[in-house]
């Protein structure tokens, strides 16, 4: 398996997971033109993508679903309630049930309920050839299914949305918004992420990628530093996107 993180954070989210010649996209929350450009940079043929899995209906995860469907006809995998909650144009729905397991592109996909202010938020875990990658973002707490998935993941892509102090000090965020972000239905902060990594760390967790970093309330250095301190994983072994337009290929 090969994972391409094309975008991750408040600006938009999109990851492509390639298994042999086929691939799935997880979320498409970036404008279509930029996504196509990023795919080209990463050497991804848009024709190899067979499905787009949607985690939840927030704009930073679905903004280009309609246009991508017009261009490439990608079918959407998500729950019917989530599908109805965003502009999907005439994309075709492959309905899934939260918590269920299904097959796509030769991979076994587990949908993992998350805790977020969306209708039926879900994270996904992918297994092929004995290797597992989990992508867990947009969740205020790490639910039991997410914790279980992290324990058996060879690559964990885990949210580290904000630094507590930076969020507290941010004058542009009203108190209600800060509370929403910090709530059980919000996002994981760097220390949450560090705590869960420490708790779920097993010899199997070989790779860690921090995701969905806020551009206004976090920095890549702070996120890496905090998670490294709390989990004991050396800092240089923890990766994340560094700037807008940065992408990453993770082979494992």
The residues that touch Zn ion, with contacts defined as CB under 5 A, are: 58, 60, 138
Q: To the nearest whole angstrom, how small is the minimum distance from the Cβ of residue 187 to Zn ion?
A: 8
Cβ pair 109, 123 in contact under 8 A: no
Closest among 127, 146, 131 to 193, alpha carbons compared: 146
Cβ nearer to Zn ion, comparing 63 with 231: 63
Cβ nearer to Zn ion, comparing 44 with 211: 211
Q: Helix, strand, or coil here: 224?
A: helix
Q: To the nearest whole angstrom, how small is the minimum distance from the Cβ of residue 161 to Zn ion?
A: 8
Helices (H), the chain: 32-41, 59-62, 65-72, 80-83, 144-151, 164-169, 175-182, 190-200, 220-231
Q: Return the number of other C-beta atoms located less than 10 Å from residue 230's C-beta.
A: 18
Cβ nearer to Zn ion, comparing 1 with 5: 5
Q: To the nearest whole angstrom, how small is the minimum distance from the Cβ of residue 202 to Zn ion?
A: 27
User: Which residue bears the tokens 């930029």?
Assistant: 34
**How far is it, in rounded angstroms, from Cα 69 to Cα 53?**
13
Cβ nearer to Zn ion, comparing 161 with 205: 161
Q: To the nearest whole angstrom, how small is the minimum distance from the Cβ of residue 201 to Zn ion?
A: 25
Q: To the nearest whole angstrom, how small is the minimum distance from the Cβ of residue 9 to Zn ion?
A: 8
Cβ nearer to Zn ion, comparing 25 with 105: 25
Helix (H) or strand (E) holding 73: none
């Amino acid at each position: 398996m090969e994972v391409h993180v094309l975008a991750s954070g408040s600006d938009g989210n999109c990851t492509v997971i390639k298994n042999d010649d086929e691939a799935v996209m997880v979320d498409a929350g970036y404008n279509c033109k930029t996504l196509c450009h990023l795919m080209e940079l990463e050497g991804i043929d848009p024709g190899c993508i067979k499905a787009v899995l949607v985690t939840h209906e927030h704009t930073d995860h679905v903004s280009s679903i309609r246009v991508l469907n017009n261009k490439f006809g990608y079918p959407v995998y998500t729950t019917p309630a989530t599908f109805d909650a965003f502009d999907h144009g005439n994309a075709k729905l492959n309905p899934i049930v939260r918590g269920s397991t299904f097959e796509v592109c030769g991979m076994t996909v587990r949908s993992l309920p998350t805790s977020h202010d969306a209708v039926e938020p879900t994270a996904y875990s992918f297994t092929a050839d004995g290797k597992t990658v989990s992508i867990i973002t947009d969740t205020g707490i790490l639910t039991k299914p997410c914790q279980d998935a992290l324990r058996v993941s060879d690559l964990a892509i885990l949210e580290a949305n904000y630094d507590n102090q930076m969020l507290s000090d941010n004058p542009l965020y009203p108190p209600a918004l800060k509370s929403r972000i910090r709530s059980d239905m919000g996002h994981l902060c760097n220390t949450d992420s560090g705590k869960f990594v420490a708790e779920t760390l097993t010899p199997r967790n070989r790779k860690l990628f921090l995701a969905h970093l806020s551009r206004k309330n976090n920095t890549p250095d702070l996120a890496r530093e905090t998670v490294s301190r709390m989990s004991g994983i050396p800092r240089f072994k923890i990766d994340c996107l560094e700037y807008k337009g940065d992408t990453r290929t993770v082979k494992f």
